[in-house]
Amino acid sequence: MTTKEQLFGLVRIQSLALEVRKAMQVVEAAPGRIEAIEAGFRERNAEYVAVKSRAEELEQDRRRRQGEVELLEVRRKKYMDDMMQVQNQREYAAMLKEIDSVKAQVLEHEDAILREMEEIEKLTEDLTARAAHIQTEREEVERERVVVEAEATVARKIVEERMSERGGVEVGLPLTLLGTLRQLELTRQGVFLARADNGMCQGCFVRVRPQMLQEIKTASVLHTCSGCKRFLYVETALRPPVGDGGAQAAHG
């Protein structure tokens, strides 16, 4: 394999590696995106739950008070009946005091029941409106989740396909070259190639020696930058001669 063919291989591998990196970001971000979607729904749904809990709490208290009123009415009736049995004015006054106390308690409960019924009515209306909205949001959450999962599935397929293609390209490259490439991927965030434009490495902007630059332009020797250690290339070196079908295929 010529140096130029090796360069074509490096360029293709770099392109595939960047596609894999981008696709992996989609795959890795998917669980977090789904959790964010569901967390947002849970937060909005919490308002519905809070309103529902308040309505249930009021209804429970209304029933309790209604039970108290019924018991108090039984007591009041008993006191009224007992008034017929009193023997003197003192007993009569004491009975009247008990009856007034019961009436006051009944009135207090009835006022509270009325307020609670009014609030329950408003909350019920609110719940009815929220229920329809919550259902719509739940359906939207499901749609968004399906979209994210579909994107992740596509991304996984891209990773699989690009990694398979990369394996095919790597087969034709020297092992020492592949070793350097993989080490650079680890240390340079996946980018092991850099253009040499205007006499400088565009990865770290270190100047390239004229003799080295000439060899990079003709792709007669593979050079790495003295600064960032990435493989250097120029765009013109990637243009295969007219009729060079093999090189054109390697450039892909």
- 137-173: per-residue pLDDT in tens? 889 999 999 999 999 999 999 999 999 999 999 998 9
pLDDT tops 50 at residue 245: no
pLDDT tops 90 at residue 129: no
Element (H, E) at 201: strand 200-201
Average pLDDT, the chain: 90
Global pTM?
A: 0.65
The answer to whether 7 touches 194, Cβ cutoff 8 Å, is no
Q: What is the pLDDT of residues 3-45, one digit of tens each?
A: 999 999 999 999 999 999 999 999 999 999 999 999 988 888 8
Task: Identify the pLDDT of residue 121.
Answer: 94
Closest to 9 (Cα-Cα) out of 243, 156, 242, 219: 219
Place 240 in a pLDDT band, splitting at 50, 70 and 90: low
Domains and CATH numbers, the chain: 3-170 (1.10.287.1490), 175-251 (no CATH)
Structure tokens that stand for 204 in this block: 């770290």
3-state SS string over 38-96? HHHHHHHHHHHHHHHHHHHHHHHHHHHHHHHHHHHHHHHHHHHHHHCCCCCHHHHHHHH
The answer to whether 10 touches 225, Cβ cutoff 8 Å, is no
Q: In what order do the strands lie in the sheet with 231-233?
A: 200-201, 193-197, 231-233
Q: What is the pLDDT of residues 75-102, one digit of tens each?
A: 999 988 888 888 888 888 988 999 999 9
Say how many C-beta atoms besides its own lie within 10 A of residue 229's C-beta: 17
